[in-house]
Structure 1
Amino acid sequence: MLEVPGNAADAPVVEVAREEPAAPVRRRGRTALLIGGAALLGLVAGACTGYLIQADRRPTALPPLSQPQLAQAKGKAPEPLSAARDGQVRTDGDLRKLLLKKPRGAKPADWTPGDGWMDLDAYAETYEEPRNMFGRLIADEFRRAAVTGWEDGGQTVEVRLIQFRQQESLEAADSTDSSQYWADREPETDSWSVPGTGNGMAYVHHRPDSDPGYLPLYAAEAHAYRGDIAMEIWMYDSKPITKARIMDLAERQMERL
Structure 2
Amino acid sequence: MVPDTRPDTPEGTPDTPSAVRPRRRVLRTAGLIAVAAVIGLVGGTATGYGIQAERAPTPLPALNQPGLAYPKPLPKGEEPEPLSAAEDRQVKANGDLRKLLVPRPKGARAHGVDGWESLAEYASVYDYPGGALEFQLDLGIRRVASRTWRTGEHRYTTVRLVQYRADAGIGAKELIEDQQRYARQEDRSDSNGEEIRGSRNGRYFFYPVQREAGYLDYYEARAYIWRGDIAVEIYIEDTRKIAENDIRSLAERQLGRL
Aligned residues: 213
Match of 2:111 in 1: 110
Q: Could you give the per-residue CA deviations for residues 96-136 of structure 1, whole angstroms, max 9, x where no partner exists? A: 11110100x333332225xx111111111111111122222
Contact 2:117 2:146 in 1 (8 A): yes
RMSD after superposition: 3.7
Contact 2:111 2:150 in 1 (8 A): no
CA distance in 1, matches of 2:190, 2:110: 26
1:216 Cα deviation after fit: 0.5
CA distance in 1, matches of 2:79, 2:221: 48
Match of 2:131 in 1: 132
Match of 2:222 in 1: 221
The structure-2 alpha-carbon separation of the partners of 1:121 and 1:223, relative to structure 1 and needing over 3 Å to count, comes to same
CA distance in 1, matches of 2:126, 2:76: 57
Match of 1:242 in 2: 243
**TM-score under structure 2 length normalisation:** 0.67
**TM-score under structure 1 length normalisation:** 0.67
Match of 1:119 in 2: 118
Q: Which structure has greater helix proportion? A: 2
Matches within 5 A, 1:34-183: 73=75, 75=77, 77-103=79-105, 105-113=106-114, 116-153=115-152, 154-183=154-183
Larger radius of gyration: 1
- Which sections of structure 1, spanning at least 5 residues, go unmatched? 1-69
Q: Could you give the per-residue CA deviations for residues 224-257 of structure 1, whole angstroms, max 9, x where no partner exists? A: 1010000000001222112221110111111111
Contact 2:183 2:205 in 1 (8 A): yes
CA distance in 1, matches of 2:116, 2:186: 29
Q: Could you give the per-residue CA deviations for residues 68-90 of structure 1, whole angstroms, max 9, x where no partner exists? A: xx9x7564744321111000111
1:214 Cα deviation after fit: 2.5
CA distance in 2, matches of 1:78, 1:233: 37
Q: Percent identity?
A: 37
